[in-house]
Amino acid sequence: MTADALPAPGQTRRLQLVGQLSAPLRRFLRTESGSATLLVAATALALCWSNSAWSASYEALWHTEASIALGSFELSMHLSHWINDGLMAVFFLVIGLEVRRDLSVGELTERRRVVLPVLAGVGGLVVPALLYLAVNPAGEAAQGWGAVIGSDTAFLLGTLALVGPATSTQLRVFLLTLMVFDDLVAVTVIGAVYSEEIVPGALGAALGAAAALALLGRLGVWRTWPYVAVMLVLWVATVESGLHASIAGMSAGLLIPSYAPRRADVEGAARRFTAFRQSPLAEVGRSAQEALARAVPVNERLQMILLPWAGYVIVPLFALANAGVDLRGGMLGDALRSPVTWGVVLGLVGGKVIGICAGTYAGVRLRLGELPQGVGPGHLLGGATLAGIGFTVSLLIIGLAFPSQDLRDQATVGVLIALVLATALGWVVFRLAAVLRGETSAGLPTVLADEVDAGRDHILGPAGAPLTLVEYADFECPFCARATGVARQVRDHFGDDLRYVLRHLPLPDVHPHAELAAAAAEAAGAQGRFWAMHDRLFEHQDALELTELAGYAGDIGLDVERFLREIDERVHAGRIRADVAGAEASGARGTPTFFVGTRRHVGPYDAETLIRELEASRAQV
């Protein structure tokens, strides 16, 4: 990775920065989990309203006609269609934006980590559909097989927070990756199977709008409004073409690029804000605002705006409009005797568990991937059980699949039963996993695996100091370079009460010179000059070729011939590998990662925060 394409702070990763998750992913998790509460409330309200004396008003509200007219053009739909075809397109847009970000700079950049969740996702799609069709093999009922292929990410994550292990970071990431594939296939099924008759002219306009979105990204357009304008055209054309609007939302999200913030843009924004602080004039402030917007990808700006609306408004509104089933007049009894109802329940609750676990097991046996560190078989089984909550996508497909209102109601009852059963069974599975297998946490380790060894480690400060700060660093990581100043401030604050330890965690997939630089530091350390080389490497991160390293060795008075020989013969490779193994065993996945004493520090790593954490650790002794 060049200096012009730097990851956002905390996003430098070796394989996957988990346990210190990227800010967008943490925001996504918080929103999805929080919206589950509103989903439950909206579902309960819909059921109560549709079964009350005011049930007629419930039906009348969603059948109210609403129109948008511009000259001779008019788009008119019932309120329920505006929600299902309009607002839900925004919901799928958010999903598409998140998928594109993860594929570009997020948790899906390491493709091998994706294989196992994808195999699990394939099983979690195919097996439920087959089980549903086994119960409903023909007729109108057979059209509902798509209702059991999707899982509700918001409900799943919210329920996992309630019934899962206290720490479930690794399991969440695995399930989120699985849900990405799940959502992509579900939207494809909606477009290919459940869309109306296609209108070629409108379809051509939709394809043209999609091409325009891709062109905007290719040209590097950084303003938001051109993307929004083209997305509106894409949505209208998609609706008019006969395709479901979810296709427009998902495809738009996938076409809006995401990238790591470029250093030039970030530094430009910092200069503009400094200028505004010195001269707080309106035009200078506007310039600073534009510079900041230019530094943040359109993809992430849209996510920040739309994610809360999708989680806290759109999905609950969808539940309110679609979960209201009138269970009176024998309808509940009919539903409980209907093969459609139990086909949905069997597909979601049984099919998801069997399919996800079988796909994962096959992938592990074929050595195509492995479960994330910290995730055990019991965690997988519990997560697969919760995947049987298919609320949002299931209700959307039910509305498209069945022309008969009776079949829709029966399938909806099946979705609600599956929600309750999957939650209850998930709780049981997680409790049994904790009791029988000791699987109480599905997160990364938080304790330093290898104790500090004064005879081996590189230490600044007294070896027997009462406080310890350990940093896993990469000499080509720009945030590690900045952290050297932080570590210096922390050492100055504590003086001889602190020992500072530096260990290696080179990230060769993003920093091609990192391993060579680590070897150079160790070769210098063999001649008693580790910290002098340490300073040179961080001062010259953009010049880490072998010839340049040799120059630094000469500058600090090393035997250059010995220095180069040790690098060439990989004399210190074992030491570096041992540091990397210790980092992974300790839950460190990115740089810089700090340990306060023996506990991994999660969160900001500015001097004030680290000083506060070290003071707290001293108070606990």
pLDDT in tens, 369-378: 888 878 899 9
Q: What is the pLDDT of residue 483?
A: 85
Q: What is the pLDDT of residue 345?
A: 97
Q: What is the pLDDT of residue 155?
A: 80
Beta-carbon-side half-sphere exposure of residue 574 (alpha carbons within 13 Å): 3
User: 3-state SS of 438-469?
Assistant: CCCECCCCCECCCCCCCCCCEEECCCCCCEEE
Whether 447 shows a pLDDT value over 70: the answer reads yes
Local confidence band at 266 (pLDDT 50, 70, 90 cut-offs): low
Specify whether the CB–CB gap between 353 and 381 falls below 8 A: yes
Q: Where are the domains of the chain?
A: 23-195+244-261+296-437, 458-620
Q: What is the pLDDT of residue 32?
A: 54
Angle at 254 between CA 42 and CA 268, to 5 degrees: 105
Mean pLDDT of 548-568: 94
Q: Using one digit for the tens of pLDDT, what is the confidence trace for 350-361?
A: 999 999 999 999
Q: What is the pLDDT of residue 196?
A: 74
Whether 6 shows a pLDDT value over 60: the answer reads no
Query: What percent of the chain is predicted at pLDDT more than 90?
Result: 47
Q: How many CB atoms lie within 10 A of CB 163?
A: 19
Local confidence band at 34 (pLDDT 50, 70, 90 cut-offs): low
Q: Nearest Cα to 372, choosing from 136, 587, 171, 137?
A: 171
Instruction: Enter the pTM of the model.
Output: 0.71
CATH of domain 458-620: 3.40.30.10
Q: What is the pLDDT of residue 620?
A: 78
Local confidence band at 11 (pLDDT 50, 70, 90 cut-offs): very low
DSSP-derived secondary structure letter, 371: P
Beta-carbon-side half-sphere exposure of residue 250 (alpha carbons within 13 Å): 18
Give the three-class secondary structure for 181: helix
Structure token digits, residue 194: 């459940």
Whether 470 shows a pLDDT value over 90: the answer reads yes
- Give the lowest-confidence range in 1-15, 125-139, 324-338, 538-552: 1-15
Higher pLDDT, 106 or 322: 322
Kindly write down the DSSP assignment for every residue of 107-157, as one continuous string: TTSSTHHHHHHHHHHHHHHHHHHHHHHHHS-SSGGGGGGGGGS---HHHHH
Local confidence band at 318 (pLDDT 50, 70, 90 cut-offs): confident
Query: What percent of the chain is predicted at pLDDT more than 70?
Result: 91
Residue 167 region by backbone torsions, left for phi larger than 0, else alpha for psi between -120 and 50, else beta: beta
Distance of CA 154 to the CA centre of its chain: 13
Give the three-class secondary structure for 21: coil
The reply to whether omega before 592 is within 30° of 0 (cis) is yes
Highest CATH level, class, for 23-195+244-261+296-437: mainly alpha
Q: What is the pLDDT of residue 109?
A: 67
Q: What is the pLDDT of residue 621?
A: 63
Average pLDDT, the chain: 86
Q: Using one digit for the tens of pLDDT, what is the confidence trace for 88-145?
A: 889 889 888 888 887 777 666 666 778 899 999 999 999 999 999 999 999 999 999 9
Q: What is the pLDDT of residue 24?
A: 52
Q: How far apart (Å, rounded) are the C-alpha atoms in residues 150 and 314?
A: 18
Q: What is the pLDDT of residue 107?
A: 61
